[in-house]
Structures are given as C-alpha cells and as structure tokens.
Amino acid sequence: MKKIIKNIKIDNIIMIFIGILAPWSILFATPQLHIGYWGQVEGMITFNHFVSALVALLLIRIGIIEKEVRQYFVHPVVLLPLLIGIYSLISAFFQMLPVLSLYGSPQLGQGAFGYFSLSLLTVLYLYLLKFTKFKYYFLLNIIIICLVITVGSFYPVFTGVVISFFGFNDWLAIYYVALMIYLLILVKNINLFINKELLGFILFLFLGPLFWKIDNNSSIALWIIISFAWIYWFIISYFKINIKIFNKFIFNPIFFTFIPILLSLVMVLSSFILWDGKTDMTNEISDKWGHLATLVARGSIVRVLFDHLDSIKSLLFGFGWGSISELLLKSFTPEVFYQINTGNRVHFHTHNELFEHIFSIGLVGGFLYVLYIYNIFKCSFKLTISYSFLWLIYFCIGAFWFQWISNISIQAMLAAFLININFKPIKYVYWYKFSKLFNSIYFYSGYLLIVAIFLFYGAYIGLYTAIDHQGNYRANSLIANAKESKLTGNCSKGFYDFGKGGMQFSQKFNGFNNYYKDQVMIYGFLNDSDYDVLEWNLCASDNIINKKQASLELINVHINTLSMLSVLPGKYGVDSRIRMKPYIDLWEDKVKFFLSYAPKRVDQAIPLISYYLKNANDIGVKNICNYIEINNVYQGFCDLAMGSIYLKEGNMKKGMMLIERANNMGVLDSEHVDRETSEELKKLLKNYKY
C-alpha cells in the first residue's frame, strides 16, 4: 500500500508538471522550435497529443485508487468532448481520407485526437485543483504565458522570441479572455472591498485595449456590444427592475448559448445580402461597409460550402476534420475564386466553430458542440453573471475565428476551474448508465488505455510526417531522392504521411512546379536535376493518387503541373514533355478521377482539351468531353472543341448546334475566347442555315 501511495505522489508530480507545461505549447510557434511544413502548429499538435496520452496513462492508476476521479468523466463538460471524439471516429469511417478526418488540418490540429485530449486535460486540471495552492501557480503560469506571447508577437526584439501564427495576431484574443476568466475565478473567494460583479466588469473592460492592440475588429465589436448588455444588467439589478422577459429569457444559459449561433447565422446572411456570388467584391464592400467586409468574406466561405450538404450522409457525418480546404477546392469555380482564394491554397477553416463542426462531423457533431457550450454556461450561471459574460465573449470569438491545438489546454483549465468551484454530479438523461460505466474499474482502465494508445498514434504520425518533411525539403535532399528513385524505380520515399492526403507534400510539389516554370519563363535555363526532381514529384504524387490516399489538393497540383508542362515554350518545354510523357499520357485519367469528386471543377479539363486539339487528338477530346457531358456538367470549351471536330468530319449540323449552344451560354462573349475567333464564329452561325 505504501508503494502505491508513493507511486501516486510521483504521478501527481508528473501531472503537475504537465499541467504547467501544456499551455506552453504555444512556444512551438517560434521559428527555433518549428518542425514540419506548417512549423507554427505541427510541433504543437505532436506535443499536445503526446502529453495527453501520458495523462491518460497516469489517470488509470489514480482513478483506480480514487473513485471520485472516475466520476469526473461523467460530468457533461468532460463527457461531451469525449462523445465528440467518439463521433469523430465514427464519421471518419465514411470519409475519403479517414486518417485526415481523425487528425484534422495540420494547420490547426482540430479533430478526434484533439477532442479526446480536451476531455483528458479537463480531468487533469480538475484533479490538480483539489490542491488549492496550485490555483495560484496556474494563475502565475498563464500570466507569464500571456506576457511572453504578447511581447513575442509585438516586441520580439526584447526577448529574442518571435511568436507568429501565419502572420496574424487575432488568436491572442482567446488568451486574453482566458486570463480574465482565470483572474475572476481566483478573486471570487478573496474578501475585497469591491463588488465581485463590478470587478468582473472591470476585468472585462481591460479586454478592449488589448483587442485594439491586436487589431481584432470582430472581437472589438463583440466587446462593445457585450459591454452595453452588461451595463444594462447592472442597471436592472441595481434598481431592482423586474422585467420578466429579460430576467427569465435573456440572462440564462439557453439564450447565451443561442447568441454564438445567432452570430453564425448573421455572418452567413451578410454574404447572401452583400455578395453577388459571382465576383470578388471585397474591395467594394470594404469601401462601402468598412469592417463588414471581413464578416462577408467569412460568411462567403460557409455559403459556398452549403452546396455540399446535399445528402443524408453529409448531414449526419459531415466530411471529416480537415476537409474544409477540400470542400472549397471542389467549389473553386471562376465565380467564387477571388472571394475565397488565399494565395496558393484555399481557406483551411470556416472561421466559425459551429459550421466547422457541422461540415466536419455533421449535424450531430454540431449539436454536441452546442451542448458543450450550453453546459459551460449552465455551470457559470450557477456561480455569477460575470463568468457567463466572459465565457460569452470567448465563444462569440469562435463565431469569427477558430480554436486550434494550443487553445485546448487553456480551455480545459478554464472549464475545470468552473466545475471545480462547486463540483456536484449533474443528473441528465443516461447519467446513471454513464456513471455505472466509469465506476467499473475495468471499463475505466480499458477506455483510458485505448485512448492513450490512440493519442500516442496521433502524436507519432504527426511527428513522423513533420520530420520526414524537414528531411526532404531542401534542394540536395530532393535531388538525392530523385536520383535514388531512378536507380531503384521506387519513388515512394520521403512523402509517407499515413494516409493524411499528402497535404504537406502537395505544398512542396506546388512550390517546385512554380520554380520549374520560372526557370524556363524568366531565367531560360534548366539543370538536369530539375528534370529529375520534377519527374520524381510526378511519380510520387502518381503513387499516392493510385493508392487512393491523395487529397484533392494534391491531385489538383498534379493536374496543374501537367497543364504547365503542356504549354511550356521552347526547347525546354519540348524536352520536358518528352521526359514526362508517361505522366502526360495519364493526364486524362487524373482529370476524370478529380472530376469524380469535384464535378464543378470542369475548368481543370480546359488545358487537357487544348493539348488534345493542339496535337490533333480528336478521340481524346471526345473522351473527356463525353465524360463531362455524362456527369451533367456544362463545359463551354467542350462545345467549341467538339463542334470544330464535327465540322472537320463533315457533320455540319451537329457541329453548328454545339457552337450555337456555346454562344447561347455566353462562351463566345467570355474573356477566355479571343475577339477575332468569337466574331468569326458568330458570323458563321448567322450565315448558317439548318
């Protein structure tokens, strides 16, 4: 027995260390600690999953001794993230890339692993908060973190630590709100000469200048609106104004839960009102409506994605975590290109937590997320209105920004503090069954062991992919891979990511594609190694695509590279097409495969049609155009190409009918058809008699 108690003490020391260290995962955003392609985040993901797995193992022994710890998992604030994690697992089995669906975007880390982690870390902090003195250690810890990340974001010269999340500072808003919630929780039990509700409001007011400093306009707007709501609450409370509709229906958990939902709907509605759905109106909206342009831009993302919720499967299970960029790529038509484009990638998140959950894990997942918010408010309203207002701005920020992996430990700590203040079993539907399950030492131990293994797996695949990227990113390593591939005939080295879609590889491939094009178009020179590396990239991506482990993003880059090669001028263009002929011959297969998942993206067939016409491959034109026609998607250039082929074959009637259809659909008036050709075809149509 003494040995067990001694081991428990050692476990406590380790858990305290993890509890203090976990929020510091944000330091992986510093260049010195970057690993992987998206170095700001990939290290955080690995670290978070690894320490969460350790927590799961430590909780096994602690929970066997202390029954109360087992009951922590039954509390809704702990149980709901667990259920979201389980439902994410179920959803993943229905997705094109199951491992990506579990892991989530490598730029965020939000996924099944992340939700199991949130549940475990909440229990970790709930357990540690039994020891009162640690509350103050954690406060000091979060104050130092906020100080370091603020200085690192704005004044890195003082610390030598640069902290950046893809060039944005909006994420700091979450940390500032968390700090204020934490401060309010700690001062609640301290005897002060100031009203605690007033103190909460004063802490809230400090957020305004902080939001202004990070230039987060959405947070500033929310801060102003909630400030007025809070002042109104003070007025009716001080004067004891009994307005039932406000007291009963406004200042309660249900209404506060509804507010982030309402903001989400307003965001989408703004897109329907202010965006025509066809052109880039960002500058126009900015000039006329100012900061509303940000609201419209984010609403546009969700609006475009609505088209994909067209089946029972998508409504129930969504499309998996990390799928937003894939869905937007399917919708990347010329009409929406400029509105949702972010450079060489589309957005990797909806910028709205509610819709992110709906598109990732369906309506069920969205409902579980809303239930989580409701239970946070339910706990906070039992304590004080101040907690509720601070949590309100926390979740409202999630209507315009996103949670990412470094926030998990912070959110878990805040949630644990909230339920620790007055921890009591909350009776709900199926509470008894869940309570009975976790009371069982066998179930409890088995569950945590499985989750620990699962999280170790998540940490491993993240670390392996990140390190593999770093070892195959520089020019010398790419050349070495290409040479080895030529000798062995195996081009699979250097890109394995356990079926996450080759997201990182697609970025490297896209970068090399641009470099290759510039070498010819700008500098007029290619090395032999350039040919070798391009061939290796095509071979590697072809390998992933054939195994059906490729993301649409990687397939898109593969097709774009072939399109680039088809029009590359001069001797280098000819030589490139000769050397890459095996992959150019498979171009049509890749386009068809891509269109099978993204039927709207018929624009990707245009370079192939042009290439076939240039090489007098009429059969190829007919094959790809008939494939598009069968899938009930209109491609105007197919009408023109097929029309010219039929005219050449002497089938005047069919040829002219296709050209006339193209004219009626506005193809001849588009900027993609030169004026002279357009006028000649219109003249031909005018003079032709059926």
- CA 444, CA 582: separation in Å to the nearest integer? 55
* Residue at a domain's end among 345, 377, 403: 403
Mean per-residue pLDDT over the chain, rounded: 86
Domain assignment of residue 72, yes or no: no
Residue 676 has pLDDT above 60, yes or no: yes
Q: Which residue has the higher pLDDT, 514 or 631?
A: 514
Residue-wise pLDDT for 164-173, tens only, equals 776 677 888 8
Please state the separation of Cα 446 from the chain's center in Å: 31
pLDDT of residue 283: 59
Residue 686 has pLDDT above 90, yes or no: no
Domain assignment of residue 451, yes or no: no
- CA 561, CA 566: separation in Å to the nearest integer? 9
- What's the domain count of the chain? 2
Domain that holds residue 623: 489-687
Domain assignment of residue 501, yes or no: yes
Residue 286 has pLDDT above 60, yes or no: no
Residue 190 has pLDDT above 70, yes or no: no
- Give me 644's structure tokens: 């010219």
Confidence of residue 341 (pLDDT cuts 50, 70, 90): very low
- Give me 526's structure tokens: 């290619």
What value does the mean pLDDT take over residues 105-129? 94
Looking at the fold, whether 337 and 229 belong to one and the same domain comes out as yes
* Residue at a domain's end among 340, 375, 403: 403
Residue-wise pLDDT for 462-498, tens only, equals 999 988 877 666 778 888 888 888 888 788 777 788 9
Looking at the fold, whether 385 and 245 belong to one and the same domain comes out as yes
Domain assignment of residue 53, yes or no: no
Looking at the fold, whether 397 and 502 belong to one and the same domain comes out as no
pLDDT of residue 16: 92
Domain assignment of residue 127, yes or no: no
Domain assignment of residue 81, yes or no: no
Spatial contact of 131 and 20, defined as CB atoms under 8 Å apart = no
pLDDT of residue 7: 53
* Residue at a domain's end among 371, 387, 403: 403
**CATH number, residue 585:** 1.25.40
DSSP class per residue in 364-409: HHHHHHHHHHHHHHHHHHHH-HHHHHHHHHHHHHTTTS---TTHHH
What value does the mean pLDDT take over residues 651-667? 88
- What stretches of 25-171 show up as alpha helix (H) in DSSP? 39-65, 67-72, 76-92, 98-103, 112-128, 134-154, 156-159
Closest by alpha carbon to 389, among 179, 172, 122, 181? Answer: 181
- What stretches of 241-291 show up as alpha helix (H) in DSSP? 244-249, 253-274, 282-289
